[in-house]
Amino acid sequence: MMYATKITMRSGCNNSNKCEEIDSIYLTGAKEEQFYAKAVLHDYVKTNPDSIQVNLSPYPSLVPAVSSKGEKYVHSKADGTANDNLLKLPRV
């Protein structure tokens, strides 16, 4: 299983609570543990559902999404929390 463990935000968006403003996501358990662009992960989870989880309980899977501007990104499956679990990961 691959896990999202930390995120980087777009320049000037460090305090944002929008998944669309995530720039890249660090994965562990991947062949290469490194940061991956959100569009790359969008395409991956679209063809490999439930293959990447957020490394925080309840470990929701990443799901693909497209912004109103046509930009590919990912967010975690809803679990009733106010903010997406992906946004609760450490920001670097």
Containing structural domain, residue 29: 2-88
Q: Report d(CA 58, CA 47) in Å as an integer.
A: 23
- Predicted confidence at residue 83, as pLDDT, reads 84
User: Residues, the chain, total?
Assistant: 92
Residue 70 and residue 12: Cα distance in Å, rounded?
A: 21
Model confidence, pTM: 0.95
Distance CA 39, CA 66 (A): 9
Give the mean model confidence (pLDDT) for residues 16-40.
Answer: 97
How many domains would you assign to the chain?
1
Q: Which pLDDT tens digit goes with each residue over 48-68?
A: 999 999 999 999 999 999 999
What's the confidence (pLDDT) of residue 78?
85
* Farthest-apart Cα atoms in the chain, separation: 32
